[in-house]
A = this chain, B = another copy of it.
Amino acid sequence: MDKFQMINEMAVDNGSKIVLLLMDGLGGVPLEPGGLTELEAARTPNMDALSQRGSMGLSEVVAPGFSPGSGPGHLALFGYEPLQYTIGRGVLEALGIGFNLQPQDLAIRCNFCTLDADGNISDRRAGRIPTEECVKRVEILRTIEIPGVEIFVEPVKEYRFALILRAEGLDPRIRETDPQMTGVPPRPIEAADPAAEKTASILGQWWDEANRLLAGHPPANSCTLRGYAKDPGLPRFPEVYRIKSAAVAVYPMYKGVSRLVGMDVIQHDAETPAQEFEVVKENWDDYDFFFVHVKKTDSYGEDGNFDAKVGVIEEVDQALPGLLELKPDVIAITGDHSTPSLMKRHSWHRVPVLIWAEWARYGKSMPFGETNCATGSLGLIRHVDIMPLALAHAKRLGKFGA
């Protein structure tokens, strides 16, 4: 039996409330031997008080050595086995720009590129044109019309844009057109499966017209298409776990992933963690599960700014009493992957997890941090275990077998 099915059969809606607080890229590494990670260096009296009455552990997001992207990181966090469930790149691109994707939509990542006089690609990224140049060309491309198909063209950043086709029966099994080298022409748009012939024909029409319109606009006088994807139709989070669920996030990507698994995404103007917690408070009576996403831990990690990442963690900690006064039954605090400032990128290092609940097995009294998590009473877990554990700690999972 599928694990979701087992959990669904055990799940009971007892009205208890869970907050899953995610600091993106939370995990870190010390800058030198004997040093502290960002989380360990941060002054976090509120989280440390929770850890006295909670369980700590280290979590593997996907598998040892795997540095997760945002898609797998969040799927795992929500309990979807990231080696089994995937979100296609076109869909992630669309979610990242806040596009409201429909189930029938085909989403495609596109790059502007430069073609020389012979029709060969001379620059795969069109000289990395600035975003405002991207926007201008996107407006040109928006004039393309194909009967029976609704077409959306959306700028992303610099030479990148997204193309979304809306029609019944679109099929993502189309070959990528970027040859991954210069001096050759873009590859033709071809179906990789006979069922995708109609989609290939629509895309072919669009691309011919796009080339005609872009011809006079070097260096971005053509484009390549890849990452064709549709909504993967994931099991719906609120139904699997039998819990009324809402997401509070600032960035479009995380709102999009939450919507994709079926959570309600709360509209708000919050920017800081304290403001996000205020949004939770305003909606407290309407939901039993809140996913709260804090982005800037990851952003500063990517920048290599150790102190600023520490600062965001401290900001979250200072705002935490606003959450605690709501008296949730379970608070789980973790990241979707590690982003050590030292590395300026997502990494494979295990992620610290803290689960606070009345029914937690306390370990030794220790502040929340990677080193203490390694010997915590929660042990070594995987990210897909976090939701079942959070539900169990909220007494929302019945017995397995008699």
Contacts and interface: CB of A to CB of B under 8 A. Distances in A.
Interface stretch (A17-25, A123-131, A317-325, A367-375): A367-375
Given A371-B377, A402-B89, A67 B361 contact: no
Given A375-B375, A377-B371, A379-B380, A82 B30 contact: no
A104 interface: no
A340 B304 CA distance: 45
A377 B347 CA distance: 15
A374 B379 contact: yes
A93 B388 CA distance: 28
A4 to B, nearest CB: 12
Contact of A389 (B65, B376, B399): B65
A213 interface: no
A29 B392 CA distance: 14
A92 interface: yes
A34 B379 contact: no
Contacts of A267: none
A157 interface: no
A70 B400 CA distance: 9
A110 to B, nearest CB: 15
Contact of A402 (B6, B33, B70): B70
Interface string A59-95: 0001111111111100000000011001101001100
B361 A379 contact: no
Contacts of A72: 400-401
B69 A385 contact: no
Nearest to A53: B33
- Give the one of A34, A52, A382 with max B CB within 10 A: A34
A362 B1 CA distance: 39
A251 interface: no
B388 A63 contact: yes
A157 to B, nearest CB: 14
Contacts of A65: 7, 385, 387-392, 397
Among A67, A82, A343, A391, chain B packs the most CB atoms within 10 A around the CB of A67
Interface in A28-55: 29-30, 33-35, 37, 52-53
Given A374-B379, A379-B350, A380-B380, A66 B359 contact: no
A291 interface: no
A361 B349 contact: yes
A173 interface: no
Given A370-B377, A371-B377, A374-B379, A35 B66 contact: no
Contacts of A277: none
A69 B362 contact: no
A120 interface: no
A262 interface: no
B402 A92 contact: yes
A205 B348 CA distance: 57
A233 B365 CA distance: 47
Contact of A71 (B53, B68, B361, B401): B401
A191 interface: no
A382 B70 CA distance: 25
A101 interface: no
Contact of A400 (B66, B89, B340): B66
Interface of A: 1, 3, 6-7, 10, 29-30, 33-35, 37, 52-53, 58, 62-72, 82-83, 86-87, 89, 92-93, 340, 342-343, 346-350, 359-365, 370-371, 374-377, 379-382, 385, 387-392, 397-402
18 contacts: A7-B65, A10-B66, A33-B52, A64-B388, A65-B391, A66-B400, A67-B398, A68-B399, A68-B400, A72-B400, A86-B401, A89-B402, A92-B402, A340-B359, A350-B361, A374-B375, A374-B376, A379-B380
